[in-house]
Structure 1
Amino acid sequence: MTSTAEPRAAIILAAGQGTRMKSPLPKVLHPVGGRAMLDHAIDAAEALGCERVVVVVGAHSPEVRAHVARRLGEDCIAVQDPPLGTGHAVRAAESALADFRGQVVITYGDVPLLRAADIEPVFAASEGVRVIGFEARDPGAYGRLILKGDDLEAITEAKEASPEILAISACNSGVMAAPVGLLFELLAEVRNDNAKGEYYLTDVVELARRRGEPTRAVFAGEDAVMGVNAQAELAQAEALFQKVRREDFLATGVTMPAPETVHFSWDTEVGAGTTVEPYVVFGPGARIAPGARIRSFSHIEGARVAGGAEVGPYARLRPGADLGEGAKVGNFVEVKNVAMGKGAKANHLAYLGDGEVGAKANIGAGTIFCNYDGFFKHRTTVGEGAFVGSNSSLVAPVSIGAGAMVGSGSVVTRDVEPGDLALARGQQTAKAGWAARFMETMRAKKAGQKGKAG
């Protein structure tokens, strides 16, 4: 968290309807990097050292309100009802900041790539109004910044701009900072005498200049201030997020032969010296220690992998999976809420759910931890150095002792003591010549049917 001399607060605007998303999920709750866009905005505000964070929500989105309440509390919510523009939305937060003295920054819940480092420059000056701008590759409908050096003389909307102003590539991101008292004094003067009948936040710049207050612009990269309003833009934001994450991991010593195929979450941790093969997906909560190997087509979420461990190919680690040093989870193995000790192995075609596998234990192909009885989950414990034969079902709650063995094809319902062998299957019998006689009879029968058909 940034240390600041003057108190900071953030107002995050998240009251938009988001109709262009064409989704039942409110726009700001759509994820980028496995995290809601709104949470990215809150993260940035907290990283700036904001002691107050107020999120402005719409009356139409109870899901957004509930999301903010869970994370920040009800006292951090302001409601804009009805929606009458960005200036009106900011004023909705005024009562929540009535006792606050300091600097306030206005950001947006649908700008997921904006980080604290991008916003920090607006706090370099503590007077007047400061705006974050960007140089647009295609300025299009963005508001243009009319600048004289670092001084911001005006913000002109594209639909009101002359051809000369439309040629300007410096554009308004919408992010603004000002002393809290000045901000709300200026907003009180904003009028809605425009085509939409809305109160625009950008009018604050002109009102500040009339008062003789400083108005300045600082700049961030265009990608950082990208807003998301439709599914195509959400996909674009995700692609930009992934690009940055891949570059970060490569720079820290993670080996990725095909980084463009690897998908990371916002909180993924991968240590230096780890190899991540193509087509790996990291869901939220993945922690990979240095020197691990994640093979192709694996999915890891809410799991920890120690150094020297190997996952995949085609493996799935679900929340609570914890692989110790040198452990191996191979192809088509699913692990959920199971700790695997140092050197433990489940090389192929197994489901391990709710339990523990001791160091150097071996889980054979086709083994299942039968952890659910239809109502409750139960645990399976496999001791250190134990060997579970292929195609075995361990019906929890059950314990396989250290150094014990389970014969292939067993259904184990009772604990196995250390060093014991458990066999839980029907005894094999043989009927001499039965198969040959059966096949001869069936071939004759089939031949007769063909003759009748002819």
Structure 2
Amino acid sequence: MSETFAVVLAAGKGTRMKSDLPKVLHKVCGKPMVEHVIDQLKHLSIDEIVTVVGHQSERIQEQLGSTVDYAYQAEQLGTAHAVKMSHEQLGHREGSTLIITGDTPLISSGTLADCLELHQETNAAATILTMQPDDPEGYGRIIRNEQGQVERIVEEKDASEQERAVNEVNSGIFCFDNQLLFEALDLVSTDNEQGEYYLPDVIEVLQRKGERISAARMPEVEEGLGINDRTQLAKAEKMLQKRIIEFHMENGVTIIDPFSTYIGADVTIGIDTVIEPRTHLRGKTKIGTNCIIGPDVDLENYEAADRTKVKNFSRTNDISSLPYVN
């Protein structure tokens, strides 16, 4: 039976964040962005997840623990080089490999599942998850032939003026036939502006060999948002917070003022609970059913039993040490 693997690229420093913290550990709605990615992968039938670490690798491993396997990239020589570091775990195995960067916290398991499904249905050597942003600046462009088939991906710094006008771009998420991937990685060169081993170059290698290349278009451009600086981090926070608020309202929670309410990614809330304005729920807070929380409440790792009322209150200790507030 064919296996499915995932490689999460998390080795970069992220210099544009201007931080001592590795980029992928910056939080979005209370959770490191790389954990958002891995959580979505865990919703799929993935046989093994390999996270490629490098800069401050010990901090990332401490955060993720034994939930994934690790490969180490000592020098950051490009995305193709990063994937190649997982050869020991995956190089000898047959199946499909999903590759995703650890700085895309808005990606959904549904979109990843659709990409995998198309890849397997078309029996492709590679499938690219593409998107069409209003402004393609900064992204690698998808170059197709007259028949609409993908020929290659060209990075913006290496693109001609005509190629830069293309608005279908590479999201940085791929699915590959695993054995063809590792064969092609050996043929990737550094003949580009940055002098790096680009993972998108694998597409051109496979295309020259006559292999089938598929492309799946991302339904919502925001899912492909990669975080490179604090401005993009704030944008992702706003987008994900909107999703979280809407999720709870769709599942039976009344939120009086969504614009003044903050709910972390790991918070759970029971049905028929009312969240009053200016309420902040953080960490692994658990709110029961038929509660009234707020106004002016800030809770972290707090547990409230069914029919609890909490107002004008702030508590940030661990769940195990907290009393119920009735």
State how far apart, in whole Å, the 1-side matches of 2:141 and 2:316 are. 49
Question: CA 1:82–1:280 in 2, change beyond 3 Å: closer, same or farther?
Answer: same
* Residues paired across the two proteins, number: 320
Task: Specify which of 10, 15, 27 is matched with residue 14 of structure 1.
Answer: 10
Residue matched to 1:162: 160
State how far apart, in whole Å, the 1-side matches of 2:258 and 2:82 are. 41
Residue 337 of structure 1 pairs with residue 322 of structure 2: yes
Residue matched to 1:85: 78
The answer to whether the 8 A contact 1:274-1:292 is kept is yes
Q: Which moved more, 1:301-310 or 1:273-282?
A: 301-310
The answer to whether the 8 A contact 2:158-2:193 is kept is no
The answer to whether the 8 A contact 2:91-2:179 is kept is no
State how far apart, in whole Å, the 2-side matches of 1:146 and 1:201 are. 15
Residue matched to 2:67: 72
Counterpart AA for 2:209: R
Residue matched to 1:143: 140
Residue matched to 1:313: 312
Residue matched to 1:102: 95
- Cα displacement (A) at 1:166: 2.2
Identity of aligned residues (%): 32
Residue matched to 1:116: 109
Residue matched to 1:27: 23
- Cα displacement (A) at 1:60: 4.5
Q: TM-score, normalised by structure 2?
A: 0.92
Unpaired segments of 5 or more residues in structure 2? none
Residue 52 of structure 1 pairs with residue 48 of structure 2: yes
Residue matched to 2:129: 132
State how far apart, in whole Å, the 1-side matches of 2:133 and 2:115 are. 19
Residue matched to 1:294: 293
Correspondence 1:31-430 to 2 at 5 A: 31-68=27-64, 70-72=65-67, 76-124=69-117, 125-126=119-120, 127-147=124-144, 151-220=149-218, 221-316=220-315, 318-320=317-319, 336-338=321-323, 340=324, 345=326
Which structure would you say has the larger Rg?
1
SS of the residue corresponding to residue 89 of structure 1 reads helix
State how far apart, in whole Å, the 1-side matches of 2:276 and 2:2 are. 47
State how far apart, in whole Å, the 1-side matches of 2:148 and 2:298 are. 48
The answer to whether the 8 A contact 2:139-2:170 is kept is yes
Question: CA 1:180–1:192 in 2, change beyond 3 Å: closer, same or farther?
Answer: same
Q: TM-score, normalised by structure 1?
A: 0.67
- Cα displacement (A) at 1:153: 2.2
1:21-40 deviation per Cα after TM superposition (whole angstroms, max 9, x unaligned): 11111111111121111111
Question: CA 1:65–1:316 in 2, change beyond 3 Å: closer, same or farther?
Answer: closer
Residue matched to 1:438: none
State how far apart, in whole Å, the 1-side matches of 2:96 and 2:186 are. 18
The answer to whether the 8 A contact 1:294-1:313 is kept is no
Larger fraction in helix? 2
SS of the residue corresponding to residue 197 of structure 1 reads coil
Question: CA 1:29–1:165 in 2, change beyond 3 Å: closer, same or farther?
Answer: same
1:269-302 deviation per Cα after TM superposition (whole angstroms, max 9, x unaligned): 1222211011111112122222110011212222
SS of the residue corresponding to residue 242 of structure 2 reads helix
- Cα displacement (A) at 1:217: 1.0
1:139-182 deviation per Cα after TM superposition (whole angstroms, max 9, x unaligned): 11211112367732221222333333322211101111111101
SS of the residue corresponding to residue 224 of structure 1 reads helix
Residue matched to 1:363: none
Unpaired segments of 5 or more residues in structure 1? 322-335, 346-454
Higher relative contact order (CA 8 A, sep 6+): 2
Question: CA 1:189–1:246 in 2, change beyond 3 Å: closer, same or farther?
Answer: same
1:74-114 deviation per Cα after TM superposition (whole angstroms, max 9, x unaligned): xx111112111111111011112144321101111111111
The answer to whether the 8 A contact 1:257-1:278 is kept is yes
Counterpart AA for 1:83: Q
SS of the residue corresponding to residue 239 of structure 1 reads helix
